[in-house]
Structure 1
């Protein structure tokens, strides 16, 4: 048995589930009576979703549909970073939604400080866009996970590589 156990705190999302949520959103827009004739387009890029529609009112309706589909596929709504609404050609509006992935350095420092302050037997180290948490006792690691779930961070947290 290993002398110490560890896990990683990451912020990530399942890309395939996001593809499915965007696809379902596009299909629902095509079938809904109030959105059918708006020629709304929802396009998924590498790190961004682009919505092009005829008014801010229909844009809000598309947001609601997208959020509902994402939540139904167990995606956190914190992955969406809504950009400003811009005018597009033909009196239409367009908005880019950036997809948040990874833990920033500042947030990594905040998480590791919380762990250091509250759990004396646990070590936390920042590794790129993840935080590695290690301890001798798996019970201590479970307590850290429970404590981090209580906090409301601006990104969705997952706990991976638990060993």
Structure 2
């Protein structure tokens, strides 16, 4: 019988991110507590930059943005807020980046979790993903369940299940 495999990846759906940014812009345009303030959201390549009058408004803006991300199905584990810094005209800004891809440290952690479980599967790192191979679908489903319940700091998706 042929081996069955799947890939563990960490991807960010760019379209859903764009939708979340658009919804955030719409909400801040209509919210009463943001009226008359310099609050805005901009995108720059892969990052989102949040601008506000002060740190409190920025925290409120981050809350609105996070709620829109959750509604669009983007896990907050993927969000990396930079430090809050001063911007032009007395405002503050925060550059928000998003993690994508399984970095080597996380891949090593995944390998260790799989090894400690003593499930008879093989795992190997391939560029920005981890491929898990086993003899039966049941073993692979156990690995998926195990990884979903583990404390890994990035969001994981499982694809190419063959």
TM class, shorter-length: over 0.9
CA RMSD for the aligned pairs?
1.1
Gaps in structure 2 of 5+ consecutive residues? none
Residue 64 of structure 1 deviates from its aligned partner by 0.7
SS in 1 for 2:32: coil
In the TM superposition, what are the counterparts of 1:15-26 in structure 2 within 5 Å?
15-26=14-25
Structure 1 match to 2:120: 121
Residue 159 of structure 1 deviates from its aligned partner by 0.5
Residue 77 of structure 1 deviates from its aligned partner by 0.7
SS in 1 for 2:74: coil
Contact 2:38–2:91 (CA<8 Å) still a contact in 1? no
Residue 45 of structure 1 deviates from its aligned partner by 2.4
The one-character-per-residue Cα deviations of 1:50-107 (angstroms, maximum 9, x if unpaired) are 0111111110111111111111111101111010000012111011011111111011
Count of equivalent residues = 162
Does residue 1:78 correspond to 2:73, yes or no? no
Deviating runs (4+, > 6 A) in structure 1?
none
Structure 2 match to 1:38: 37
SS in 2 for 1:84: strand
Structure 1 match to 2:68: 69
Structure 1 match to 2:4: 5
SS in 2 for 1:8: strand
Structure 2 match to 1:95: 94
Gaps in structure 1 of 5+ consecutive residues? none
